[in-house]
């Protein structure tokens, strides 16, 4: 389908030097002349008929309005284009990222000015391209509907092997299930520990990660990664130097841990006392704040949280009755019985 006169006008304007964009000021002057010149308009040595003048008004007014309202900003180039190598071999994998992905419906990638397929949807602010080892000019270009941006470019040398072959000697991963899920990741230094400066945990793998969590070499360990409700799935970790060349990814085998808690510590303050049954009853009957760890409030461990749980705590505190069920109110422990209760029980106990 052909472009309208306004579309062609805007497209040409987007690719002109800044000095030529001063035509908008001329457009305004023309509009003022048309508006005050009666049925005919003098423009240079020729006269413009009223019908043509009306068409000029419509086209130029739309163009000026688009410029003044920031319409052209949608078509700015991808900003802060960065290249990082995440895979190696005869065809290296290079990830390109930029800081304004919300501007585009899609992007195209180029290596040495030739269009290449991408391995990740660029609308999310990153693409992965395959490139042979050697120096290259890498570029991305944004699209919104039929409109295109200028290309953003970065020079990058693709390597055949990673400059960080052994960043760590071993990696451990512990998975704490909860309403959100959390990973605790640790490692020991490898022979190339002095070569890396930051790293990534890739939820979903390297090629098409659901999320990427970045950490610094100076961050305390173990590294904590909140899954935010996502299924565990494939998890990889990789380490990068200051030039953004990554080590080969290490696939993590995460061992599931049971979260620990004190039975009866419903408000998570570290001790079982009168505030816990009050907290529980306030939620059940007075729309008070909900507890986070279901098992901590399930004092009788019957898999249901109700008024009987508050009574168990009160009987224990004031009538020397049996304490809340295992692991009990004093020591941290795991739930010994399976049930449908969950919640966020991590971080209640040290």
- Domain containing residue 121: CATH number: 2.60.40.10
Fill in the DSSP letter of residue 315.
H
Residue 221 and residue 233 in one domain: yes
Per residue of the chain (350 residues), give pLDDT as tens.
454 433 443 343 333 333 334 444 444 455 455 555 544 444 444 454 555 555 555 555 555 444 444 444 447 889 999 999 999 999 999 999 998 887 788 899 999 999 999 876 666 788 999 999 999 999 999 888 888 899 999 999 999 999 999 999 889 998 877 656 789 999 999 999 999 999 999 988 776 777 889 999 999 989 989 888 777 889 999 999 999 999 999 999 998 877 788 999 999 888 999 999 999 999 999 888 888 788 899 999 998 999 999 999 999 999 999 999 999 999 888 888 877 776 667 656 75
Q: In this predicted structure, what is the pLDDT of residue 260?
A: 82
Domain membership flag for residue 238: yes
* 250 shares a domain with 190: yes
Total structural domains within the chain: 4
284: exposed, middle or buried (Cβ count in 10 Å: 0-12, 13-18, 19+)? middle
Residue 264 and residue 252 in one domain: no
Beta-strand runs (E) in 98-230: 106-111, 114-116, 126-131, 134-144, 147-148, 152-158, 168-176, 182-189, 198-203, 211-216, 223-226
What is the structure's pLDDT at 38?
46
Evaluated on CA atoms 280, 286, 288, 292, the torsion sign reads positive
Torsion of CA 317, 319, 323, 329, to 10 degrees: 10
Q: Which of 188, 222, 256 is the last residue of a domain?
A: 256
**CATH, residue 175:** 2.60.40
**By residue range, what is the domain housing residue 203?**
168-256
Q: Is residue 163 part of a domain?
A: no
Does 290 lie in the same domain as 329?
yes
Q: Is residue 97 part of a domain?
A: yes
- 50 and 15 within one domain: yes
Where do the DSSP E strands lie in the chain?
A: 41-43, 46-48, 82-87, 92-97, 106-111, 114-116, 126-131, 134-144, 147-148, 152-158, 168-176, 182-189, 198-203, 211-216, 223-226, 235-240, 250-251, 254-256
Hey, is 217 helix, strand or coil?
A: coil
- Whole-angstrom distance, CA of residue 220 vs CA of residue 25: 57
Residue at which a domain ends, from 200, 227, 256 = 256
Of 74, 90, 124, the last residue of a domain is 74
Are 245 and 265 members of one domain?
no
pLDDT of residue 105: 84
Residue 287 in tokens: 């729309």
Same domain, 64 and 17: yes
- Rounded distance between C-alpha atoms, residue 285 and residue 282, angstroms: 6
In a domain, 37, yes or no: yes
Residues 275 and 250 in one domain: no
pLDDT at 138: 98
Residues 11 and 65 in one domain: yes
């Amino acid at each position: 389908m052909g472009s309208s006169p306004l579309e062609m006008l805007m497209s040409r304007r987007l690719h002109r030097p800044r000095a030529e964009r001063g035509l908008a000021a001329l457009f305004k002057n023309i509009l003022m002349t048309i508006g005050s010149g009666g049925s005919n308009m003098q423009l240079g040595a020729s006269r413009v008929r009223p019908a043509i003048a009306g068409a000029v008004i419509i086209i130029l007014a739309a163009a000026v309005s688009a410029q003044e309202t920031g319409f052209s900003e949608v078509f700015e180039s991808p900003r802060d284009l960065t290249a990082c190598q995440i895979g190696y071999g005869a065809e290296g994998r290079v990830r390109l990222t930029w800081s304004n992905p919300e501007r585009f419906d899609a992007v195209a990638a180029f290596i040495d000015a030739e269009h290449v397929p991408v391995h990740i949807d660029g609308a999310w602010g990153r693409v992965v391209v395959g490139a042979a080892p050697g120096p290259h000019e890498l570029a991305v270009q944004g699209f919104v509907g039929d409109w295109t941006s200028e290309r953003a470019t970065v020079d990058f040398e693709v390597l055949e092997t990673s400059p960080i072959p052994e960043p760590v000697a071993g990696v451990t991963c512990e998975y704490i299930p909860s309403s959100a899920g959390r990973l605790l990741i640790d490692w020991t230094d490898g022979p190339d520990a002095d070569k890396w400066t930051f790293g990534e945990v890739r939820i979903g793998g390297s090629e098409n990660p659901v999320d990427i969590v970045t950490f610094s070499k100076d961050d305390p360990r173990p590294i904590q990664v909140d899954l935010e409700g996502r299924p565990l799935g494939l998890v990889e970790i990789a380490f990068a130097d200051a030039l953004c060349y990554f080590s080969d990814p290490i696939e993590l085998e995460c061992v599931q841990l049971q979260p620990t808690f004190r039975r009866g510590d419903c408000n998570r303050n570290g001790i079982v006392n009168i505030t816990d049954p009050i907290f529980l009853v306030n939620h059940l009957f007075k729309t008070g704040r909900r507890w986070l760890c279901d098992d901590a409030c399930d004092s009788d461990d019957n898999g249901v949280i109700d008024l009987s749980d508050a009574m168990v705590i009160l009987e224990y505190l004031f009538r020397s009755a049996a304490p809340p069920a295992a692991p009990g109110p004093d020591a941290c422990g795991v739930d010994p019985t399976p049930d449908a209760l969950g919640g966020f029980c991590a971080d209640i106990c040290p």
